[in-house]
Structure formats: C-alpha cells, structure tokens
Chains A and B, each alone.
Chain A
Amino acid sequence: MRIDLSRDVLAGNDSTAEANQRALADAGVLCVGLLSSPGAGKTTLLEATADAWGDASRLAVIVGDVATEADADRLRDKGIPSIQINTQHHGATCHLTAESVTVALAQLDLDSTDLLFVENVGNLVCPVGFRLGEHRRVVLISVAEGADKPIKYPKAILETDLALVTKTDLAPYVDVSLESLTHSIRQVKPNAEILGLSTKTGDGMAEWVSWLRELKAGSVA
C-alpha cells in the first residue's frame, strides 16, 4: 500500500532553528553565524572582534569542532563567554545542528549578551543546509584558498548574507587578491555583499565592525 507523505527531510532542524532564532530575538540577542573551510580565520576574527567591540563580555560564542575545547579556550582568554560543542558526540561530525545550538544556548546568559556568534565546524559543504537560528550568516574565504573556491562551493555563497575575504595580507604571496575573489563570488551571486579584511594588519576590521553595529542597531534583534 502506498501512503502519500509529503515531508521536508530537514523540517525538524528548521523548526528548531526558528525556535532558537525567536528565543534570541526575544532576549534582544543578534545572532551571526560563521561558515568557512577549516582554518579560514573564524576564531582569529572573533578574537579581533572582541578587541574592537569594546566590551567583550557583551559578546558570546558557540563554537563547533569535531574535537577539543581549543577554540572556546582561545575566546574565553579574550573575555568572551564561549560554549564549545564537540560534534563527535552529536552524531553528525561535519556540521552543527539546530538542536545542539539549543543545548548550548541554555548555558549562556542571554540577558547580558548583545551579539552571539555561532562558529560552525570548518567545512564549506555540510553546514550550509543546516540552519541554526542565525539572523545573518557570514561565509569566510581566505585568499590562501585560491580564487576559485566560490564557484566550486556555490551553495556556501548563495545561502549566506555576507562574504568576508580574509587574510588579505597574504594576497601578494598566493597570487590571489580581494579583486579576484570578488570576481569569483559575483560569478555565483552578482549582488553579493563582500568585505575584505586582515586580522594581521587590521585592514578592513573597521568595516566589519560597522557592518555588525549597523545590523545590531537595525531591527533584527
């Protein structure tokens, strides 16, 4: 006997993500997700953002890695309350899930948080389809990865709101520039919003921080 069943496979994750997003908005917390391949500079960016933000204790981070507390420890050293999720204990090692974020949210003091970052597991493929409750999603692509990454991983560009080209200080050594990466990002999404930065030199940090501040001042949360 055939039974008609029309069910989105990710509906369960999506509805948990929506609940996370609502809970965060109700608490007045803006949530920004960070996606990238391993080592594009997510944690370093958050460390630099802590310095630039003013009061690091008003920030919070939920960070996913397969193993170790290393990233959360780095962020706590900067004064940011941080929760580490080790995905090896959550069934799906290559990405965070909305459910794992719900558990982490319960361990944060949302009332004293203005801005929450969720740093996903380094991976440009698997995390893309799993919404977590972010108000905005940012993809980081470092110049050292090569200018063709956006067209090879187009979904990561399509399903995010800002593309951050990182490690621009390395551009002269790797024959990739902010311009060549911008070109390749726009091959996928012509009207993509793009910023370039280097945490090493500080170039572009002011623009990144004002992107965050404008979002925070806006109506999102």
Chain B
Amino acid sequence: MHEYSIACRLIEAVESGLDERGVAAPVGRVEVLVGELSGVVPEALELAFEAAKTETRLAGAELALTIEPLVLWCESCRREWHAAEPFLICDECGGTQVEIRSGRGLSVTGVDVEDEQRP
C-alpha cells in the first residue's frame, strides 16, 4: 500500500507549487492524472488522500482523478493502441519494437483554491 506515501507527496507537490506562486488560500479541489501504468490504484489513492490531508491546507480538498490510458506504439506498423496489459509485443504483427507512449504518468495538473480577496 504505497498510496499513502504517494498521497503525502501529492500534498507536498501542491503545497510547494502554491508557495512558489505566493498563494496561501485553502485548496478545494486537486486535479490528478493517474496513468494506468503508474502503479497507483485510484480508489486506494482517494482513501489514502483522505487520511493524509488532515491538518494541511488541503484538508477540505477533493481529488479529481483523470485516468491516463496505457498507449503502446509499434515501430513496424507505425500504429498506436490502447493496451490492456503493458506487454511490449505488437498485437497485430507480433513485432517487438514496441514502446510505451503514455500511461506511466502520475501528476498534479491543477488546483481550485478559494478566492483570497473576499469583501
């Protein structure tokens, strides 16, 4: 269950990103891109985030997860496809010049913060 340590790093990433921008307001929503090959189980990350966020400025935040599909590319067929498993063999020509185009990612893409200058 490494999702708890992932959730802690996610919170740190948001905090440092906001610090750099001088934003101090509480966070309401965090957009996260989770690759199918990131090794992170979305449900487990959501649970872990609930536990990790308390007593941080993300305490009131919710995660908005987007799944990044696992896309493989065959150099011989010059074709990409959404693969169920990360097996580096082309499902059409059987070729092995196959690379992972996307699906490894695990990143924060944006956050919603409460407006700071409220009347």
Listed in ascending order, the chain A residues whose CB lies under 8 Å from chain B are 1-13, 91-92, 94-95, 97, 125-126, 128-130, 151, 154-155, 158, 187-191
- 5 A-B pairs in the complex with CB atoms less than 8 angstroms apart: A1-B114, A5-B17, A6-B108, A125-B2, A154-B87
Q: Complex Cα distance A10/B32, Å?
A: 13
Are the C-beta atoms of B110 and A5 separated by less than 8 Å? yes
Interface of B toward A, CB cutoff 8 Å:
1-2, 4-6, 8-10, 12-14, 16-18, 21, 23, 32, 37-39, 85-89, 96, 100, 105-115
Kindly list the 4 A-B residue pairs having the minimum CB-CB distance in the complex, ordered from nearest. Answer: A92-B5, A126-B2, A190-B96, A5-B17
Find chain B residues with CB under 8 A from A91 CB. 5, 8
Q: Which of A3, A97, A126, A155 contacts B37 (CB 8 A)?
A: A155
Given known pairs A13-B9, A158-B86, the reply for A7 and B108 (CB within 8 Å) is yes
Asked whether, in the complex, the Cβ of B108 is within 8 Å of the Cβ of A9, the reply is: yes
CB distance from B20 to the nearest CB of A (A): 9
CB-defined contacts of A125 to chain B, threshold 8 Å: 2, 39
| Distance in angstroms between the alpha carbons of A8 and B52 in the assembled complex | 18
Chain A residues within an 8 Å CB radius of B88: 158, 188-190
Task: Tell me the total A-B contact number using a CB cutoff of 8 A.
Answer: 97
* Bound complex: CA A94 to CA B4 (Å): 10
Are A187 and B21 touching (Cβ within 8 A)?
A: no
Q: State the CA gap A125–B32 with chains docked (Å).
A: 21
Please tell me which one of the listed residues B39, B87, B115 contacts residue A151 in the complex, with CB atoms under 8 A apart: B87
Please tell me which one of the listed residues B1, B4, B6 contacts residue A9 in the complex, with CB atoms under 8 A apart.
B6
Cα–Cα, bound, A159→B89 (Å): 16
Q: How far is the CB of A200 from chain B (nearest CB, A)?
A: 32
Determine whether the beta carbon of B106 is less than 8 Å from that of A191.
Answer: no
Using Cβ atoms and an 8 Å threshold, which residues of chain A touch B2? 92, 94-95, 125-126, 129-130
Please give, as numbers and ranges, the residues of chain A lying within 8 Å of B9 by CB-CB distance.
9-10, 12-13
> Is the beta-carbon distance between B13 and A11 smaller than 8 angstroms?
yes
CB distance from A74 to the nearest CB of B (A): 26
Closest chain A residue to B2, Cβ basis? A126
Q: B114: which A residues are within 8 A, CB to CB?
A: 1
Are B87 and A9 touching (Cβ within 8 A)?
no
Q: Is the CB of B1 within 8 A of A126?
A: yes
A13 to B86, CA, bound (A): 24
Chain A neighbourhood of B112, CB < 8 A: 1-3
Which of A92, A155, A190 is close to B86, meaning CB atoms less than 8 Å apart? A155
Apart from A2-B112, A5-B110, 9 more pairs, CB < 8 Å = A3-B17, A3-B23, A3-B110, A3-B111, A5-B109, A91-B8, A125-B2, A126-B39, A188-B88
Counting chain B CB atoms within 10 Å of each CB, the highest count among A2, A13, A91, A97 belongs to A2
Q: Residue among A7, A126, A187 with the most chain B CB within 10 A?
A: A7
Rounded to whole angstroms, the CA-CA distance of A188 and B18 in the bound complex is 40
Provide the residues of chain A in CB contact with B109, threshold 8 Å: 4-6
